[in-house]
């Protein structure tokens, strides 16, 4: 899979929003941003470089426009950074 470098997830949403997503469309959309879609126990995760981020419930995809999925990815990435900062030892 070709990776897209230095692209924010929200910037990848270039097509008009359909009424909802299925796994194939979501997989392609995340792939355009350089992430793999992983489905685990009814949840949708984005994965890259042995890291995984929870995005939404699988059941929510059908009513979710692409921009919302990418917003979920953006929020998950920001949350991970905030948690890393909070957990880092203070020098």
Q: In the numeric block, which tokens belong to residue 51? A: 């890291």
Whether pTM > 0.75 for this model: the answer is no
Taking alpha carbons only, the member of 21, 19, 50 closest to residue 36 is 50
Query: What domain count does the chain have?
Result: 1
91: confidence class by pLDDT, cuts 50, 70, 90: low
**Is 76 inside any structural domain?**
yes
**Is 75 inside any structural domain?**
yes
**Is 12 inside any structural domain?**
no
Dump pLDDT digits (tens) for 4-50: 444 556 556 555 555 789 999 999 999 999 999 999 999 999 999 98
How would you classify the pairing of strands 36-40 and 43-48? antiparallel
**Is 4 inside any structural domain?**
no
Can you give the residue range of the structural domain that contains 27? Answer: 18-87
- Top pLDDT among 82 and 24 is at 24
């Amino acid at each position: 899979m070709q990776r897209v470098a230095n692209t924010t997830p929200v910037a990848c949403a270039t097509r008009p929003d359909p009424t909802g997503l299925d796994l194939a469309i979501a997989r392609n959309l995340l792939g355009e941003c350089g992430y793999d879609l992983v489905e685990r126990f009814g949840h949708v995760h984005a994965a890259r470089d042995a890291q995984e981020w929870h995005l939404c419930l699988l059941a929510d995809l059908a009513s979710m426009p692409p921009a919302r999925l990418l917003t979920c990815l953006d929020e998950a990435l920001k949350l991970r950074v905030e948690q890393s900062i909070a957990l880092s030892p203070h020098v």
